[in-house]
Amino acid sequence: RLKDLELAELGDSDVHVQMLAAPINPADINMIQGTYAILSPLPAIGGNEGVGEVLEVGQRVTALKPGDRVIPAGTGLGTWRTQGVFPAEALLKVPSDIPVLCAATLSVNPCTAYRMLADFETLAPGDSVIQNAANSGVGQAVIQIAKASGIKTINVVRDRPDLPKLVERLMALGADHVVTEEMLRKPEMKEIFKSTPKPRLALNCVGGKSTTEMLRHLQPKGTMVTYGGMAKQPVMVPVSAFIFRDVRLRGFWMTQWRKDHAQDQESLTGMMDALCQLVRRGQLSAPACTEVPLQDYRAALEATMKPFTSSKQILLL
């Protein structure tokens, strides 16, 4: 529910932030449902991602000043609010010349896409990646980051009534191929591999049958990285894929990466700088968004949970 809260007093190491915009991600819904791997102690404010403007800083805060734009450094900040007082170390400064919607959606999906493309296989220009849920926030970021690096993408989506429109939108982002889950079994895939090498990396956000079909096209010794399970079904792998093709199955969770690199600020700032440069150069845009005033949060939550959602709900604060 929407509720007025007293603003906490500003401590010496705190920052008073006016929130500007915050998206609703699937993980936010899972946290509310109590099914996510990390849960905030109740009562809690929802939202793990967003962008705000610094209004005031405590006496000991030197890295931030009023007018700076900030995003959460980790999860569980509770971004669905108009204002908040946060410890300075819980915030990351972002350039003010980046569009608000890009900044609001920067710390989860593009970071996940960036790390999965960089950390599991050494990809060179001309190599290819296959991914399902290609129209998701991460999927759209993968297409654009890969395109900027000269890596080809084979993008799998579920069949739907407005499929031609979705294919057109993903191709406009830089997708090389867009196929439905049903097409993964069909001879047309051979046509794709005449012009595009078989992928060494597969990114799985669905699970179930979609994963098994995608795995068939992975190169021997290739890697499949699972970062979501939208079908709520296990990852099924034929024994032959392990024995005769020696495929690797890995998992990725951005929250864990941040924990593992908490003492390695260079990795974090390097990634954020690289993403901000892509945004500035027009090579990485915010996902398709629907902007919703905070008081209409119920409609935004319902829209996020509908099937075939191709637009991310963004709360304007």
Q: Angle, nearest 10°, between helix axes 137-148 and 265-280?
A: 80
The CA-based angle 206-288-120, given to 5 degrees, is: 45
What's the rounded Cα separation, in Å, for the pair 231 and 219? 24
Q: Could you give the residue ranges of the DSSP H alpha helices within 105-262?
A: 109-119, 137-148, 163-173, 188-195, 209-215, 239-243, 254-260
Whether residue 36 lies in the annotated active site: yes
* Burial group, residue 279, by CB count within 10 angstroms (0-12, 13-18, 19+): buried
Tell me, rounded to whole angstroms, the distance of Cα 26 from its chain centroid.
10
254 in Cβ contact with 106 (< 8 Å):
no
Query: What is the C-alpha separation between 118 and 114, in angstroms, rounded?
Result: 6
Q: What are 33's two structure tokens?
A: 């449902």
Token digits of residue 288: 């398709």
- The residue count for the chain: 317
DSSP run (H or E) holding 291: strand 289-293
How far is residue 314's CA from residue 317's CA, in Å, rounded to a whole number?
9
Please give, one letter per residue, the 3-state secondary structure of 246-261: CCEEEECCHHHHHHHC
136 contacts 158 by C-beta, under 8 angstroms: no
Annotated catalytic residue, options 36, 114, 227, 297: 36
Give the span between the Cα atoms of 309 and 312, in whole angstroms: 8
What amino acid positions are annotated as catalytic residues? 36
